[in-house]
Structure 1
């Protein structure tokens, strides 16, 4: 009897992790399909058939919209990872744009996102760090303080 209880507990903890991996994989698969449809669109444009181009554009637009909705649903179901929460900082919120230069107090190690893969952010390059600024995520060059990329309202 004890073995069945332990086996049940193991299964209860493993199954949600498996379901999460499948949904993330499905999103990656959808993104690949959108890329393929874009290639088809470019090919149709080269061929010069207006009807095919119009249909291909509509397909790409629909696929993008569907992907955005799926991504929104994924973030909603994984609120524990993407929650905004009570975020406090010793400075006021500023809306940063690409190319802006930050002071070191805005991007010091206290605000680094140490595990970008958890948030499905791409791996930062050399001298780059993902930094959380309230509910935004900034990719910052830590040598110069320049903002390279911005994701607004990433956490909510």
Structure 2
């Protein structure tokens, strides 16, 4: 019975640890520290299980849960740093970067909605925003490009020709 309990406890500890998201090697110090805390708490839990004291096991489990919770919160804070309106506050302090300029296209303005299918002429390489980080736009993702359509910025899935996202009046 004791072996069964130990095995179940080890499985309960190991399975949730697989759900903890992994991130690239260039991590913030805080995330690295949180991951180290998780390892330390997991080690403490294993020691408590080996000793067999229920009170210690209960406390160690709670500590491990708390360490994982902190890691998830910090990871989500880091992941959501570049959100929809990050560019808007940046635009307030760098208005020249977002100036309208003399931009014309060989077609008329059309207001696109999310999910709309557009012709390749609208998202050809001439309309790509080559450096989206310069404008503080979120990461486009695989198979997607930020394009300029008059004063709007449109995220297009260029494989299917679908509009994924629209930021109207991006350029002033």
TM tier, smaller: 0.5 to 0.7
Residue 73 of structure 1 and its aligned partner are, at CA, apart by 6.0
Report what 1:87 is aligned to: 103
Gaps of 5+ in 1: 1-67
**Per-residue deviation, 1:133:** 0.2
Cα distance, 1:145–1:71 mapped onto 2, change above 3 Å? closer
Instruction: Using structure 2 for the length normalisation, give the TM-score.
Output: 0.48
Aligned CA RMSD, in angstroms, stands at: 1.9
Aligned to 1:141: 157
How many residue pairs get matched? 88
Structure of higher CA gyration radius: 2
What pairs with 1:6-45 in structure 2 (closer than 5 Å)? none
Is the alpha carbon distance of 1:71 and 1:144 closer, same or farther for their aligned partners in structure 2, counting shifts above 3 Å? closer
Residue 110 of structure 1 deviates from its aligned partner by: 0.3
Greater helix share, structure number: 1
Whole-Å Cα distance in 1 between the matches of residues 94 and 104 of structure 2?
Answer: 22
Could you list the runs of 5+ residues in structure 2 that have no partner in the other structure? 1-84
Give the TM-score taking structure 1 as reference length.
Answer: 0.53
1:137 match: secondary structure: strand
Moved over 3 A (4+): 70-74
